[in-house]
Amino acid sequence: MIGMNIRVLRKKHKMSQEMLAEKVNVSRQTVAKWESEEALPDIHKGKMLADIFQVTLDQLSDDMSIEDVKQLGPKGRQFFGVVKVGERGQIVIPKQAREMYQIHAGDKLVVLGDDAAKGLAILKSDRFLEFADMIRNAESAGEEPE
Predicted local distance difference test score (pLDDT) of residue 146: 53
Looking at residue 10, its pLDDT comes to 93
The answer to whether position 81 is within a domain reads: no
Residue 17, in any domain of the structure: yes
Which residues 6+ apart lie within 8 Å of 25 measured at CB?
Answer: none
| Same domain, yes or no: 8 and 43 | yes
Letter string b/e over residues 40-51, b meaning 16 or more CB atoms within 10 A of that residue's CB: ebeeebbebbbe
Distance CA 99, CA 103 (A): 7
When divided into structural domains, the chain yields a total of 2
Alpha-carbon distances of 143 from 15, 57, 62, 110, rounded to whole Å: 52, 43, 48, 29
Q: Is residue 78 part of a domain?
A: no
- Predicted TM-score (pTM) above 0.85: no
Structural domain contains residue 82: no
Bridge partners of 111, per DSSP, are: 122
Task: Give me the pLDDT at residue 36, please.
Answer: 95
Q: For residue 51, what are the domain limits? A: 2-70
pLDDT reported for residue 74: 64
Asked if residue 30 is part of any domain, the answer here is: yes
Angle between helices 17-24 and 43-53 (to 10 degrees): 120
Per-residue confidence (pLDDT) for residue 75, from 0 to 100: 61
CATH of the domain at 48: 1.10.260.40
Amino acid 132: pLDDT: 80
Neighbours of 73 (CB within 10 A): 12
SS3 letters across 70-134:
HCCCCCCCCCCCCCCCCCCCCCCCCHHHHHHCCCCCCCCEEEEEECCCCEEEEEEHHHHHHHHHH
User: For each of the chain's 146 residues, which pLDDT tens digit applies?
Assistant: 899 999 989 998 899 999 999 999 999 999 999 999 999 999 999 999 999 988 888 888 888 777 776 666 666 666 677 888 899 999 999 888 888 889 999 999 988 888 988 888 888 888 778 878 888 888 877 655 55
